[in-house]
């Protein structure tokens, strides 16, 4: 995980390079990963998609569920990520954004990440301190991500205004026969969705969100596959 992000600087990081490999640090210890509505169709075949309430109760955020308890990722096996789809929020590693002010975001990097080097890989800056093409590609990825995430959050807010979310604790029985329940998860209420007025339904179709909603419903079938990944010794 991005433990120590620092602002990216063409002075401090003039020789910083990024190795072309996926880092397990980005997924180790994650039991959920942020997901945008635009990713639901691609993500649904691999893991359950739920919604979590923001800590300040200001709305909901979608997440891919990787594990059935905190710090458990059942899609990391033998030092390999087996999740199939990699959420955009994880693909940004070792980079992240930090809020410098109300209107300004700063690109940061985890200098200790295993895919960061000072000797080999894609350089972030040219010898004269200007941005490399690779740096501009990272910048574009974040710009696109911010735009897509803003659209996703706005649509989720409209769905909340339609009262489409309901609490749904994730219940399961592990391989040892023990009963468990994870509270705090929310799903789209299928009954309320099916009962939407024509106007409400058409507004969701206008936003192009219907495929994502149906993908969310189908993703819930992946809970069984997730349970099967639990170690036999699970308590």
Q: Which two tokens stand for residue 143?
A: 């710009």
State the pLDDT at residue 3. Answer: 55
Which residue matches tokens 């990097």? 109
Rounded mean pLDDT, 156-170: 92
Q: Which two tokens stand for residue 194?
A: 């099916």
pLDDT tens-digit series, residues 105-154: 899 999 999 999 999 999 999 999 999 999 999 999 999 999 999 999 99
- Report residue 64: phi and psi, to 5°: -85, 135
Rounded mean pLDDT, 24-34: 93
Residues 6+ apart with CB under 8 A from 67: 30, 31, 32, 73, 74, 226
pTM above 0.85, yes or no: yes
Q: Can you tell me the distance from the alpha carbon of 82 to that of 79, in angstroms, rounded to the nearest whole number?
A: 9
pLDDT tens-digit series, residues 58-96: 799 999 999 988 899 999 999 999 999 999 999 999 999
Rounded mean pLDDT, 20-25: 88
pLDDT tens-digit series, residues 166-214: 998 777 777 777 888 888 899 999 999 999 999 999 999 999 999 999 9
State the pLDDT at residue 200. Answer: 95
Task: Count the neighbouring beta carbons within 10 Å of the beta carbon of residue 43.
Answer: 25
Cα dihedral: 31, 70, 22, 148 (round 10)? 50
């Amino acid at each position: 995980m991005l433990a120590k992000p620092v602002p990216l600087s063409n002075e401090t990081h003039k020789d910083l390079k990024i190795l072309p490999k996926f880092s397990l640090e980005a997924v180790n210890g994650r039991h959920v990963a942020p997901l945008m509505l635009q990713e639901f169709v691609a993500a649904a075949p691999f893991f359950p998609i739920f919604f979590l309430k923001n800590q300040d109760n200001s709305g909901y955020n979608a997440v891919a569920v990787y594990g059935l308890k905190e710090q458990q990722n059942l899609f990391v096996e033998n030092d390999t990520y087996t999740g199939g789809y990699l959420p955009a929020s994880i693909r940004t590693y070792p980079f992240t954004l930090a809020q410098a002010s109300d209107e300004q975001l700063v690109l940061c990097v985890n200098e200790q990440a295993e895919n960061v080097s000072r000797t080999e890989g894609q350089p972030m800056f040219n010898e004269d301190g200007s941005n490399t093409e690779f740096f501009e590609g990272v910048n574009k990825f974040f710009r696109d991500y911010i735009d897509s995430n803003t659209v996703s959050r706005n649509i989720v807010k409209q769905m909340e205004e339609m009262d489409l979310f309901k609490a749904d604790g994730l219940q399961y029985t592990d391989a040892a026969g023990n009963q468990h329940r994870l509270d705090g998860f929310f799903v789209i209420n299928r009954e309320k969705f099916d009962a939407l007025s024509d106007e409400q339904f058409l507004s969701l179709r206008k936003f192009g969100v219907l495929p994502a909603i149906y993908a969310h419903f189908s993703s819930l079938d992946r809970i069984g596959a997730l349970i099967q990944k639990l170690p036999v010794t699970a308590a």
